[in-house]
Amino acid sequence: MTILSADELKTLIEHPHSHCISLYMPMQKAGPEIRQNPIRFKNLIREAEERLDAMGIRHTEAVNFLQPAMELDTTDFWEHQDHGLAILISSDVFRYYRLPMEFQELVVVSDRFHLKPLLHLINNDGKFYILALSQKDAKFFEGTRSGLNEVEVENMPKSIDEALQYDETAKEGQFRIATSKGSTSSPFSRSQPGAFHGQGSPDRDKHQEAILQYFHAVDAALHEKLRDREAPLILAGVEYLHPIYREANTYPHLIEEGITRRLELFQPEELHAQAWPIVEPLFHQSEQDAMELYQQLAGEGTGKASSDLKEIISAAYYQRVDSLFVPVGQQIWGEFDPDSMAVDLHPEPEPDDEDMLDFAAIHTLLNGGTVYAVESEQMPNDTLAAAIFRY
């Protein structure tokens, strides 16, 4: 199973192909209702076969096309599920995602993957980082709403012993700084060691200074890894290490709130469970700002904002949309002709139709805009779509 991320979504967006199949279904995680999961799955597969048949694909070819998804139908697969399941299939792509939100049951067959149901997760999953530190260990994680992945950081020391090579004088409380891998000199200097003096015995002060130098080495490695990044970074470790690391830190997006606990007591799932409530509010702020700007522009009548779906579809295709709001659980079926800029909307999906809300969202993203997929009741002024234009 592939982890859903903004980069993964971009790959899928940039993968137009004939007969892209997108399947979405809610999942039951416990109780007798879990028996409905494979039944619902088989019904969606059958519906996808019918859609392919309606498009002139021979039945045997349709069955073969869907075979990778059908092979998921095992007891082990159904025993390990989250609240929602998404499956994407084309001739050269097969992805499935177990995701922490319920989806409306949906089958879409088009020349692009139907991705609007995933945008809510991407918008609000925003990438974040965790630096988990102890004197004996240092780990770096990339996280989203869905979970954490541990990531290797080149030249980052794994412990204070690796960062600081102690010699015989260490018995007297002295130390020397290890040279970082691939370098001929220390990547840091002993900056402001006096910040910790006067708080205890000389031996304690010297040990805190050693920790500070270790953290300078960690920060130097992360500085290269996170150059030009803007995702928030959370610090995790026992409480007394936090102010020492903040003394060494140069990453501007280290957030104030951290996780204070001994690292050996953490499983990645527990670490994620504590980190997500810290970062989640940060990912809603840009959505709130865009909503306020839309309301302001719509009220001014300048033409810089619109809720006219046909105008928005054309504008998204021609790179005019800067920000777009769409309801995550609704579909408006139809076709767009880029030559005439005509938009035909249909009450029910026809064989070559696609969800025009999804069309507008994907083209907004392809053209560098931002899409906010929200619940229907959160749409501004109960509209089907709302856009802020670049011009």
Q: Please list the pLDDT of the chain residue by residue as tens digits (391 residues).
A: 666 777 788 788 877 677 899 999 999 877 777 888 999 999 999 999 998 988 888 888 999 999 999 999 998 888 888 889 999 999 888 999 988 788 889 999 988 899 998 887 766 556 899 999 999 999 999 988 778 889 999 999 999 999 887 543 444 444 444 433 333 333 333 334 334 444 456 677 788 899 999 999 999 999 999 988 888 999 999 999 999 999 999 999 999 999 998 777 668 888 999 999 999 888 788 888 999 999 999 989 889 999 999 999 999 999 999 999 999 889 999 999 988 989 999 988 887 788 999 999 999 988 888 899 888 898 988 899 999 999 9
**Whole-angstrom Cα distance, residue 385 to residue 376?**
10
Nearest to 114 by CA among 124, 104, 106, 103: 106
pTM above 0.75, yes or no: no
CATH 3.30.960.10-classified regions of the chain: 6-116
CATH number of 126-281: 3.30.420
In CATH, which of 3.90.1200.10, 3.30.470.10, 3.30.1330.30, 3.40.50.450 is domain 301-389?
3.30.1330.30
The residue with tokens 């619940």 is 375
Determine if residue 157 is left, alpha or beta; phi over 0 gives left, psi from -120 to 50 gives alpha, anything else beta.
Answer: beta
CB 40 within 8 Å of CB 25: yes
CATH 3.30.420-classified regions of the chain: 126-281
CATH 3.30.1330.30-classified regions of the chain: 301-389
The answer to whether the Cα torsion of 313, 315, 318, 323 is positive or negative is negative
Provide the strand spans (E) within 242-341: 259-260, 305-306, 321-327, 333-337
If residue 281 lies in a helix (H) or strand (E), which one and from where to where?
helix 268-300
**Whole-angstrom Cα distance, residue 269 to residue 275?**
10
What is the topology classification, in CATH, of domain 6-116?
3.30.960
Nearest to 125 by CA among 9, 293, 242, 264: 9
Both structure tokens of 90: 């084309």
